[in-house]
C-alpha cells in the first residue's frame, strides 16, 4: 500500500494518481457507463485538471436505483443487525488502513490542506465505528395500555436512500449519510459533486471489501443536471439526503413532493460567533481563526460573522487582523494554513461579494483580493479577509459567501449581540465565547440555530446531532437522531384477552 509520501511523489511526477477509480460503482463493482463519456476533475491548488471520471446519465441512475431496490428487498433489510454492525466496523478499519490514499485524493480533489483532509478521513472512520455500535441498539418502545392490550413500536428501514454529496466535505458528508442509512437497514445510491467524485467511489469499494452485499451501496458520478436531478426525481427512491445550496435544496424539495419522498436538507449558513467582553480572549481569537479559515471558509457551518461587544472590538479585531495577515497559503499537499477555493467559478463568486462591498465603502481590514499560490503563481486562491463594522442588513452580513471572509458586527451589549445573531435568514450553528456560563446558556436558549458551540467552535463530534433551522434546512444528521432519519416508526396494538 502506497504511503502518503509515495502518493505525493507519484502526483508530482505524473500529474495524476494511478489508484483513482473510473466508472460508476454499481452492484459491487466499477462498471462501464451507459454512454462512454468522461469529465475532468481539477486540482484547485494548480487550477488544472488531474484526472477524468465518468459522466453518468439517467440510465445509469436507473440501474443504480434498481440494484439498490433489489438488494434492499432480498438481502439487506432482513440481515441481522449484528451482521450489519460487523460490516460497518470492518469498513471503519479499512478506512483507517487506507487513510493516506483517501486523504491525498481528498486534498487533490477539493483543494483542502492535507492535514485537514486527514482529519476528515479519520472522522469518516469514526462515523462508521459509531453507527456500527448502534445497529443492534435501534429499539422501539412499549406503550402503557389497559390490561387486555399490548402496544409497542418498531423502527423499520425507510428503503432506498439517495445521497447528494457536496464538494466541500466529500468523504465526511458521504460517511455521515451512508453509515446511519446502512445501520438502519436502508440501501444507498449516492451522487457525489462533479468537482469531487473520487472519495465516494473509493468509500463504496471499501464497503464492498468489508463484506457489504452487492447493490447495497451504489455511486453514480456526473453532473447535477444529468445524474443528480434524475436521482432526486426517481420514483424508486424512498428518501433523499441533500447537502448544498438553498436554491438547489428548493429544487430537491419540489422534486420530492411529486412522490411524497422523505427529505433531510442541510443547506446554507451565516453562522454568528458571539464574543462577549468577559471572554477568554486567546481562546476566542483562536476559535474564530479556525471557524472562518478552515477549508478556506468553505463550510456551511463556518463562523462567518463575528458579533463582538463594543468595549473589546478594536483591540480584538486588531489581533485577528495581525494573525490573519500572517497565514501561509499554498497547495493543499504542502499542508498550508490556508488552501485554495474549490473552483474558478466559486473564486469569482467570493470576489464578487468583496468587490461589491468595497464599492459600498466597506472597511476591509485585511485581505480582500484574488491571489495565487506564492510558490507557483497558480491556483484558485482568495486572501484571508476581514471586513470590519458591517451594518446588520448589509449583503456581507446576510448572504453566505462560502469563503475565507469574516464579517465583523459590533454589538452594544449581550442583548444587542443576541439581536444581531438572530437577524439572519439562516440558522445552522452559532458560537458563544464568555466566561459567564449562565449568560452562555441563556444565549444558547435564545439563539435560533440547530447547534450551539460554547467556548470552542466546532465542538462535539459524530455523537452530536447536526442540522439547521430557518433557511438552513431541516432534519438532523449525526448522533442517534441521524439514525432515526432513515427509519419509519410502526406502532402495533393488540387485544390479548
CA distances from 33 to 22, 26, 70, 415, 476 (A): 10, 10, 20, 57, 33
Among the listed residues 300, 309, 383, 477, the single catalytic one is: 300
Distance CA 464, CA 451 (A): 9
**Spatial contact of 165 and 174, defined as CB atoms under 8 Å apart:** yes
Strand order of the β-sheet with 487-495 is: 142-143, 149-157, 487-495
Distance CA 2, CA 101 (A): 7
Q: Is 419 a catalytic residue?
A: no
Distance CA 244, CA 242 (A): 6
Retrieve residue 443's grid coordinates.
444565549
Distance CA 140, CA 492 (A): 11
Q: Is 279 a catalytic residue?
A: no
Distance CA 298, CA 168 (A): 6
Among the listed residues 116, 129, 226, 266, the single catalytic one is: 266
Cell 448544498 identifies what position? 244
Distance from chain centroid for Cα 347: 19
Distance CA 231, CA 452 (A): 33
Nearest CA to 289 out of 169, 406, 370 is that of 406
Retrieve residue 104's grid coordinates.
491525498
Retrieve residue 76's grid coordinates.
439487506
Helices (H) and strands (E) in the chain — how many of each?
16, 24
Distance CA 70, CA 187 (A): 9
C-alpha torsion angle, residues 346, 350, 352, 358 (rounded to 10): -170
SS3 472: coil
Q: Which helix (H) or strand (E) holds 455?
A: none
Cell 483562536 identifies what position? 286
Per-state percent for the chain, helix, strand, coil, to nearest 5: 40, 20, 35
CA distances from 307 to 200, 270, 410, 438, 481 (A): 37, 12, 6, 19, 30
Which are the catalytic amino acids? 266, 300
Amino acid at each position: 500500500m502506497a504511503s502518503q509520501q509515495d502518493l505525493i511523489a507519484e502526483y508530482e511526477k505524473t500529474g495524476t494518481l494511478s489508484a483513482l477509480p473510473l466508472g460508476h460503482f454499481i452492484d459491487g463493482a466499477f462498471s462501464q457507463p451507459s454512454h462512454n463519456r468522461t469529465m475532468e476533475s481539477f486540482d484547485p491548488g494548480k487550477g488544472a485538471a488531474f484526472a477524468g471520471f465518468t459522466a453518468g446519465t439517467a440510465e445509469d441512475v436507473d440501474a443504480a436505483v434498481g440494484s439498490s431496490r433489489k438488494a434492499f428487498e432480498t438481502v439487506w433489510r432482513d440481515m441481522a443487525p449484528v451482521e450489519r454492525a460487523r460490516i460497518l466496523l470492518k469498513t471503519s478499519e479499512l478506512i483507517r488502513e487506507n487513510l493516506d490514499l483517501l486523504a491525498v485524493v481528498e486534498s487533490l480533489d477539493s483543494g483542502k490542506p492535507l492535514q485537514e483532509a486527514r482529519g476528515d478521513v479519520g472522522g469518516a472512520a469514526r462515523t462508521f465505528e459509531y453507527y456500527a455500535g448502534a445497529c443492534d441498539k435501534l429499539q422501539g418502545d412499549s406503550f402503557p395500555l389497559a390490561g387486555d392490550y399490548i402496544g409497542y413500536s418498531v423502527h423499520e428501514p425507510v428503503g432506498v436512500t439517495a445521497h447528494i454529496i457536496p464538494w466541500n466535505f466529500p468523504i465526511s458528508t458521504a460517511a455521515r449519510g451512508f453509515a446511519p442509512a446502512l445501520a438502519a437497514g436502508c440501501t444507498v445510491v449516492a451522487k457525489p459533486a462533479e468537482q469531487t467524485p473520487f472519495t465516494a467511489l473509493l468509500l463504496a469499494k471499501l464497503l464492498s471489501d468489508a463484506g457489504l452485499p452487492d447493490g447495497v451501496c451504489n455511486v453514480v458520478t456526473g453532473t447535477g443536471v444529468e445524474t443528480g436531478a434524475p436521482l432526486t426525481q426517481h420514483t424508486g427512491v424512498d428518501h433523499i439526503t441533500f447537502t448544498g445550496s438553498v436554491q438547489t435544496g428548493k429544487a430537491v424539495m419540489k422534486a420530492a413532493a411529486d412522490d411524497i419522498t422523505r427529505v433531510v436538507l442541510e443547506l446554507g449558513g451565516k453562522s454568528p460567533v458571539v464574543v462577549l467582553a468577559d471572554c477568554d480572549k486567546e481562546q476566542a481569537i483562536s476559535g474564530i481563526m479556525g471557524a472562518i479559515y478552515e477549508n478556506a471558509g468553505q463550510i456551511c457551518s463556518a463562523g462567518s460573522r463575528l458579533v463582538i461587544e463594543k468595549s473589546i472590538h478594536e483591540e480584538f479585531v486588531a489581533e485577528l487582523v495581525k494573525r490573519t495577515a500572517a497565514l501561509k497559503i499554498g497547495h493543499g499537499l504542502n499542508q498550508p494554513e490556508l488552501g485554495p477555493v474549490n473552483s474558478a467559478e466559486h473564486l469569482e463568486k467570493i470576489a464578487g461579494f468583496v468587490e461589491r462591498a468595497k464599492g459600498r465603502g466597506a472597511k476591509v481590514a485585511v485581505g480582500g483580493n484574488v491571489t495565487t499560490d506564492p510558490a507557483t503563481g497558480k491556483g484558485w486562491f482568495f486572501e484571508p479577509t476581514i471586513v470590519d463594522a458591517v451594518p446588520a442588513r448589509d449583503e456581507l452580513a446576510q448572504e453566505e459567501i462560502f469563503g475565507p471572509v469574516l464579517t465583523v458586527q459590533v454589538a452594544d451589549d449581550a442583548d444587542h449581540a443576541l439581536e444581531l445573531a438572530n437577524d439572519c435568514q439562516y440558522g445552522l450553528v452559532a458560537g458563544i465565547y464568555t466566561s459567564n456560563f449562565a449568560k452562555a446558556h441563556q444565549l444558547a436558549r435564545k439563539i435560533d440555530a440547530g447547534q450551539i458551540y460554547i467556548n470552542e467552535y466546532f465542538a462535539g463530534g459524530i455523537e452530536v446531532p447536526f442540522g439547521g433551522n430557518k433557511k438552513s434546512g431541516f432534519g438532523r444528521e449525526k448522533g442517534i437522531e441521524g439514525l432515526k432519519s432513515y427509519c419509519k416508526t410502526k406502532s402495533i396494538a393488540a387485544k390479548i384477552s
